[in-house]
């Protein structure tokens, strides 16, 4: 099979990396640039930055973070969250991002996808889709960070987005996000089997087993994980988090309040997936990053 991708997702509010905690709101974990460098060194295949509250605070602090991160990062960086126009995309790409993720603005005006694909190249445009189970066994597309139900059904929208020129789909389960209870396998498989472009599964990763399931049964081409990586990272990066001691970090470190999430490092996850037969890039000293298993030629 084609090499799969492991993509840490960093939700950013202002200058901070944050994590939504069920019933508690957002916890500050530290500085995005520090976590980004750590994940790069640990073998992340790409990084995803999502601006958590862009619509409320504008984007003044996101662009400098993108720039500071991109300066020392030599893996692809996707940035999304509240991006609404070609100018927004251009600003983010000029700051050092390789791809932009667009969600609400595309649902509201699908032609934006075609315009962006024409201007920046299809492979630059990731269409984010937030999906929530409807009462009828189907999934509806939600906008506004998973708050507002649109009239679109997820399969139709995903296929339309692909036809309009999306390079990839970032598919988030609103039901599973933040629970650590695993990805929405049925949702992922429905979309992955229906479009010819890569599908990135998002929302709910709690363990290596969850990742393995969404890759096999869900047929995802790539996965994002947030809490699973961040909770493992805080115990390593504790001293590097920043001068201000963050309440969220202390709470996490002291209470170990991870819910169903099992803190997992990227190397640990990749070794487990490798053992299960998946092909992906593995870091090996400084001189190369061969894919394991050794070759894709057999597929």
The stretch among 9-17, 56-64, 91-99, 250-258 that binds other proteins (CB under 8 A) is 91-99
Residue 174 or 211 with smaller CB distance to other proteins: 211
Residue 247: partners with Cβ closer than 8 Å, 6 or more residues away = 27, 28
**Strands, E assignment, 44-188:** 47-51, 77-80, 99-102, 125-133, 139-143, 148-153, 168-173
> Is the Cβ–Cβ distance between 166 and 122 less than 8 Å?
yes
Check residue 1 for interaction with other proteins (CB under 8 A): yes
The stretch among 137-145, 173-181, 232-240, 287-295 that binds other proteins (CB under 8 A) is 287-295
Per the listing, tokens 């493992």 go with 232
- Beta-bridge partner residues of 168: 126
Question: 10 Å Cβ neighbour count for 87?
Answer: 9
Residue 199 or 211 with smaller CB distance to other proteins: 199
Choosing from 51, 88, 91, 130, the catalytic residue is 130
For other proteins, the binding residues in 149-208 under the rule CB under 8 A are 167-168, 192-193, 195-199
Helices (DSSP H) in 95-243: which residue ranges? Answer: 104-108, 111-120, 154-164, 185-192, 208-216, 227-237
The residue within the footprint of other proteins, chosen from 55, 122, 150, 163 (CB under 8 A), is 122
Check residue 235 for interaction with other proteins (CB under 8 A): no
Check residue 219 for interaction with other proteins (CB under 8 A): yes
> Is the Cβ–Cβ distance between 32 and 242 less than 8 Å?
no
Active site annotation includes 285: no
Size of the site for other proteins (CB under 8 A): 53
Residue 111 or 297 with smaller CB distance to other proteins: 297
CB of 42 vs other proteins, minimal distance in Å: 11
Distance CA 176, CA 185 (A): 10
Residue 130 or 168 with smaller CB distance to other proteins: 168
Considering only CA atoms, which of 79, 82, 31, 24 is closest in space to residue 239? 31
For other proteins, the binding residues in 49-78 under the rule CB under 8 A are 67, 70-76
Check residue 91 for interaction with other proteins (CB under 8 A): no
CA 154 to chain CA centroid, Å, is 18
Residue 137 or 288 with smaller CB distance to other proteins: 288
CB of 141 vs other proteins, minimal distance in Å: 21
Considering only CA atoms, which of 220, 191, 203, 212 is closest in space to residue 261? 203
Considering only CA atoms, which of 167, 166, 138 is closest in space to residue 151? 138
Active site annotation includes 130: yes
Check residue 96 for interaction with other proteins (CB under 8 A): yes
Considering only CA atoms, which of 291, 272, 262, 292 is closest in space to residue 212? 272
Residue 123 or 150 with smaller CB distance to other proteins: 123
* Residues with a known catalytic role: 11, 130
- List of residues contacting other proteins (CB under 8 A): 1-5, 40, 45, 67, 70-76, 93-98, 118-124, 167-168, 192-193, 195-199, 219, 221-222, 280-281, 286-291, 294-297, 299
């Amino acid at each position: 099979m084609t090499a799969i991708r492991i993509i840490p997702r960093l939700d950013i509010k202002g200058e901070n990396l944050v994590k939504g905690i069920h019933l508690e709101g957002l916890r500050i974990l530290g500085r995005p640039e520090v976590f980004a460098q750590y994940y790069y060194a640990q073998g992340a295949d790409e990084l995803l930055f999502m601006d958590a509250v862009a619509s409320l605070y504008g984007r003044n602090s996101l662009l400098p973070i993108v720039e500071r991160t991109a300066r020392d990062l030599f893996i692809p960086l996707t940035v999304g969250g509240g991006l609404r126009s070609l100018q927004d995309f251009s600003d983010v790409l000029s700051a050092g991002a390789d791809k932009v993720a667009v969600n609400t603005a595309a649902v509201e005006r699908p032609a934006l996808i075609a315009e962006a694909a024409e201007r920046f190249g299809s492979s630059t445009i990731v269409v984010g889709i937030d999906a929530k189970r409807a009462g009828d066994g189907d999934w509806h597309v939600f906008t506004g960070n998973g708050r507002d139900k649109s009239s679109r059904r997820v399969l139709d929208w995903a296929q339309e987005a692909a036809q309009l020129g999306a390079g990839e789909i970032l598919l988030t389960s609103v039901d599973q996000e933040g629970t650590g209870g695993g990805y929405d396998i049925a949702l992922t498989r429905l979309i992955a089997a229906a479009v010819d472009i890569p599908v990135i599964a998002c929302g709910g990763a709690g363990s290596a087993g969850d990742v393995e399931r969404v890759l096999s049964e869900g047929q995802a081409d790539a996965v994002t994980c947030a809490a699973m990586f961040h909770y493992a990272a805080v115990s390593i990066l504790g001293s590097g988090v920043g001068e201000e001691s963050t309440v969220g970090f202390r709470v996490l470190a002291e209470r170990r309040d991870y819910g169903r999430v099992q803190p997992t490092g990227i190397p640990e996850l990749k070794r487990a997936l490798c053992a299960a037969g998946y092909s992906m890039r593995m870091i090996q000293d400084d001189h190369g990053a061969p894919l394991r298993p050794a070759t894709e030629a057999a597929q």
